[in-house]
Amino acid sequence: MPKVELLIVDDHAEYIERVIELISGERELKYISTANTYADAVRVIEQKKPHIILLDVNLPDKSGIDLLRYVKEQKMSSRIVMITNQATPIYKKQCLALGADYFLDKSNDFEMISTVVETLSAEIRN
């Protein structure tokens, strides 16, 4: 079974560190990449073709929703988990309609990230 490659896209280094710490015990992860901007994320996505992308809605150069749209338009098989502090019903509805697999509130759903990554990893491997 192939190991899973993960990309975390967020402009807050501390948050990325917390997520990495949270999921570092996931045995099925082969590689964790990070990006702080839309442009960086596009480069990593094109090079590595990650299986799972943890994607913040708010990025400094473009919206994470724009990046979600890009991934889906490119017909990539990456599974997308939107993570945001703006977990409004409007954003959630928009992201899920565009093809996000999960929509999580950064603060309230933080502990769920490891479960979601584990669930998606199992689906990808099967």
Domain of residue 23, CATH code = 3.40.50.2300
Q: Is 27 within a domain?
A: yes
Domain assignment of residue 92, yes or no: yes
49, 105, 61: which is closest to 82 by C-alpha? 105
Q: How far is the C-alpha of 85 from the C-alpha of 58, rounded, in Å? A: 9
Structural domain that includes position 16: 8-56+64-118
- In-domain check, residue 1: no
Q: How many domains does the chain have?
A: 1
Does residue 125 lie within any of the structural domains?
no
- Reported as a single tens digit per residue, the pLDDT across 68-108 is 999 999 998 999 999 999 888 999 999 999 999 999 999 89
- Rounded to two decimals, the pTM is 0.93
According to DSSP, residue 63 is labeled B
Q: Is residue 69 part of a domain?
A: yes
Whether 38 is covered by a domain: the verdict is yes
End-to-end CA distance of the chain: 8
The pLDDT value given to residue 2 = 65
Is 95 part of any domain? yes
Quick one: pLDDT at residue 101?
97
Rounded Cα–Cα distance for residues 116 and 67 (Å) = 20
Q: Is 106 a member of any domain? A: yes
- pLDDT averaged over every residue in the chain: 92
Per DSSP, 105 falls in state: E
